[in-house]
Amino acid sequence: MTRALTLGQAALDRLMPMHLCLAENGVIHFAGPTMQKLVPPGAQVVEDIFVEAKGTETGCVMTQIRAADPARRLSLRLRHHRQMVLRGHVVAPGFGGLLLNFGFGVSLSDAVATFGLTENDFAPTELALELMFLQEANRAIQGELARFNRHLMLARQDAEREAHTDPLTGILNRRGLLAAMRGALDSRSGQGFALVHLDLDNFKPVNDRLGHGAGDRLLFDVARVLGRAVRAHDHVARIGGDEFVLILGGSWTCQALTAIGTRIIRGIEEISPEGCGISASLGIVLSAGYGPDDTDRMLHDADVALYRSKRAGKGRVSIAPLPLGCTPRPLPGPQ
């Protein structure tokens, strides 16, 4: 048994706050309270509110509404807020004209922000706000996770940088040097380099006569001299006591290496405390013939060259011979 059901305007507004009632010619009869917030001032016909959601805008929105399949949803785009697409159904209510009822779908968040909608603007059974709150909570969680991951990444970078840095001079320590050497020896880089092992001459009397504070200041100043002698992509490390190592990228001639080594020695002699006679002995080895696993062998060979400088009278540069079967690259190094 069926009965005709008549709803008053207040009940219709409560149950379907997004409804829109149109005459057959598209003239607006009335709209629900939420729909009224979307209707631009002075709107008289449905084309004042909507355009087609897809395809070319023909201005014949009413034609699309009349042709809508009752079993399928109708999609229309707000004329003055083109990013928002409303979806709903069309029915013939029995008193003439057409009754449309809409929802925001994926445009919900934009609609709430644009029109200042609240919980009271939705039907009691509408789950839109719950969905929006879940979306906002998800975005907030994702944002917090992103911030946490960024802080974690920065903390890891700080920890790695600290683990590879000499606390006294601020340059690389032994661990940082080994990492830089492995990268430089990686055959994929395709670039050679020179490894310079430097040991200060007559350093012990500085600590004995002037104290360890003066010795630390001198080591700091030596690091600055070495930093000024190299380029931005080179590496400088202190590997313990008064020993330093430089990685000079590129191809070098013996003449060029001797020249830069001599300049380093002169720079260190200029910062020597008065009466201490600080200088430096250098041992240099070229990377040709060494592989990614040869860091220890290369450091050993540079150390051997260094002590050849020590035995020859200190304050000088010694370059290790290339491994058997290797020939130097023909390009000259930076002068």
Residue range 171-204, pLDDT digits in tens: 999 999 999 999 998 866 667 999 999 999 999 9
Same domain, 243 and 314: yes
Strands (DSSP E) along 145-288, which ranges?
193-201, 235-240, 243-249, 279-286
Residue 196 CA: distances (Å) to CA of 248, 283, 314, 333: 8, 6, 15, 14
Active site amino acids: 242
323 — pLDDT class (breaks 50, 70, 90)? low
CATH number at residue 313: 3.30.70.270
One-letter identity of residue 292 = P
Instruction: Look up tokens 């969905």; give the residue.
Output: 131
Q: Is the pLDDT of residue 44 over 90?
A: yes
pLDDT, one tens digit per residue, over 72-128 is 888 899 999 989 999 888 988 776 789 999 988 778 888 888 898 888 888 877 766
Same domain, 158 and 178: no
Same domain, 118 and 139: no
| Residue-level pLDDT at 327 | 53
Instruction: Look up tokens 């070495």; give the residue.
Output: 226
Per the structure, the complete domain to which residue 306 belongs is given by 174-320
**62 within domain boundaries:** yes
Distance CA 206, CA 211 (A): 7
Same domain, 13 and 150: no
Same domain, 135 and 265: no
pLDDT, one tens digit per residue, over 298-309 is 999 999 999 999
| Residue-level pLDDT at 328 | 47
Same domain, 188 and 306: yes
CATH number at residue 117: 3.30.450.260
Same domain, 114 and 140: no
Q: Check residues 214 and 119 and name the one with the higher pLDDT.
A: 214
Same domain, 108 and 150: no
Same domain, 25 and 105: yes
